[in-house]
């Protein structure tokens, strides 16, 4: 994909954080957008903001859909794509985060995170497969660096993102013969409403662990993601330091564990129960 001009791009989670930042940049580069999130008012506001910034001629369609609802994805995402006149790329960016000691978090919390971070990607991707096959398009799944390693306090999140990495690896080899390219993005922590909410309650161990890679600004993640998409890379880890850390996680796990264990020990408080 040389450029995004005129491309019809559906972004789940397009009303906030990374999804919104990608939508804004892609609108600037002339893409036609289909934005998906649960809150319709936020979608309307974001549409107005992007059109105000990049001209009222920008084509933006929206669908208020919960991606964990398989039937709603089948119905509403196909209507969305019909309004867009087709689809060239699906960016699965919708996600949630819950932090805490794994022995204290409820089983329901694990299920909620899996329902959106894993099954949400499955539902949206399967709903739009026929349309993507027609366009010989691509699917970009936003996982996390937490899909490549364990992170203190992120048991449900890491479980969901590791599962998403496995799903994406498999989608890549199953969909390539069908002419659909699949790409995986594993960003480090970046500033977003998700992290703002997390900062209000996260454990000190989680904060210390995640910040062994300094927090990135969302524009760095957008640049790295779009560059990787254009290049056709399968695994995209935006940010130079995060990329180097990801190599350490995969090839030198003993060194990575040694560093992380020391960082955690320096702030350790532990669970209350």
Ligand X SMILES: NC(=O)c1ccc[n+]([C@@H]2O[C@H](COP(=O)([O-])OP(=O)(O)OC[C@H]3O[C@@H](n4cnc5c(N)ncnc54)[C@H](OP(=O)(O)O)[C@@H]3O)[C@@H](O)[C@H]2O)c1
Cβ proximity of 22 and 226 under 8 Å = yes
Strand partners, 182: 139
Q: Rounded CA gap, 126 and 143, in Å?
A: 17
Task: Enumerate residues 6+ apart whose C-beta is below 8 A from 197.
Answer: 97
Q: Rounded CA gap, 66 and 6, in Å?
A: 27
Cβ proximity of 165 and 249 under 8 Å = no
Task: Select 136 or 212, whichever has its Cβ closest to ligand X.
Answer: 212
Shortest spacing between CB 210 and ligand X, in angstroms = 8
- Identify which range of 11-19, 52-60, 76-84, 98-106 contacts ligand X by CB under 6 A: 11-19
Q: Does 189 bind ligand X (CB under 6 A)?
A: yes
- Identify which range of 1-9, 176-184, 186-194, 265-273 contacts ligand X by CB under 6 A: 186-194
Residue 123, both tokens = 């539902």
Shortest spacing between CB 183 and ligand X, in angstroms = 14
Among 27, 87, 94, 226, binds ligand X (CB under 6 A): 94
Shortest spacing between CB 36 and ligand X, in angstroms = 6
Instruction: Specify the DSSP class assigned to residue 14.
Output: T
Q: Does 15 bind ligand X (CB under 6 A)?
A: yes
Q: Does 24 bind ligand X (CB under 6 A)?
A: no
Strand partners, 139: 90, 182
Tell the residue number behind the tokens 């990607």, with chain if given: 121
- Per DSSP, the three-state class of 146 is helix
Task: Select 108 or 272, whichever has its Cβ closest to ligand X.
Answer: 108
**Catalytic positions, please?**
157
Residue 195 CB neighbour total at 10 angstroms: 16
Shortest spacing between CB 200 and ligand X, in angstroms = 13
Q: Does 80 bind ligand X (CB under 6 A)?
A: no
Task: Select 1 or 195, whichever has its Cβ closest to ligand X.
Answer: 195
Task: Select 197 or 265, whichever has its Cβ closest to ligand X.
Answer: 197
Give which of 206, 202, 102 is closest to 146, Cα–Cα: 206
- Per CB under 6 A, which of residues 107..166 are in contact with ligand X? 116, 120, 142, 144
Q: Rounded CA gap, 77 and 63, in Å?
A: 7
Q: How many positions of this chain bind ligand X (CB under 6 A)?
A: 30
Among 10, 87, 93, 139, binds ligand X (CB under 6 A): 93
Residue 19, both tokens = 């999804």
Task: Select 59 or 194, whichever has its Cβ closest to ligand X.
Answer: 194
Q: Which residues bind ligand X (CB under 6 A)?
A: 12-13, 15-19, 36-39, 42, 66-68, 93-96, 116, 120, 142, 144, 187, 189-190, 192-195
């Amino acid at each position: 994909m040389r450029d995004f001009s005129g491309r019809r791009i559906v972004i789940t989670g397009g009303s906030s954080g990374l999804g919104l930042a990608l939508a804004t940049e892609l609108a600037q580069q002339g893409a036609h957008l289909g934005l998906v999130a649960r809150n319709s008012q936020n979608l309307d506001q974001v549409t107005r903001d992007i059109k105000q910034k990049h001209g009222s001629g920008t084509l933006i369609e929206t669908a208020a859909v919960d991606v964990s609802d398989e039937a709603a994805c089948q119905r509403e995402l196909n209507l969305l794509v019909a309004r867009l006149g087709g689809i060239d790329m699906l960016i699965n960016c919708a996600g949630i985060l819950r932090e805490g000691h794994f022995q204290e978090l409820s089983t329901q919390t694990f299920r909620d995170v899996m329902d959106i971070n894993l099954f949400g990607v499955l539902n949206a991707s399967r709903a739009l497969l026929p349309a993507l096959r027609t366009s010989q398009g691509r699917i970009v799944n936003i996982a996390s660096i937490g899909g490549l390693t364990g992170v203190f306090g992120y048991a449900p999140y890491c479980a969901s993102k590791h599962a998403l990495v496995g799903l994406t690896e498999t989608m890549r080899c199953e969909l390539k013969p069908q002419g659909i390219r699949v790409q995986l993005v594993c960003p480090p922590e970046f500033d977003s409403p998700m992290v703002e909410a997390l900062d209000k309650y996260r454990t000190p161990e989680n904060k210390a662990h995640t910040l062994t890679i300094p927090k990135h600004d969302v524009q760095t993640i957008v640049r790295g993601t779009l560059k990787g998409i254009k290049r056709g890379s399968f695994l995209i880890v935006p940010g130079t330091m995060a990329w180097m850390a990801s190599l350490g996680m995969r090839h030198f796990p003993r060194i990575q564990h040694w560093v992380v264990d020391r960082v955690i020990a320096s702030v350790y408080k532990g669970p209350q129960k």
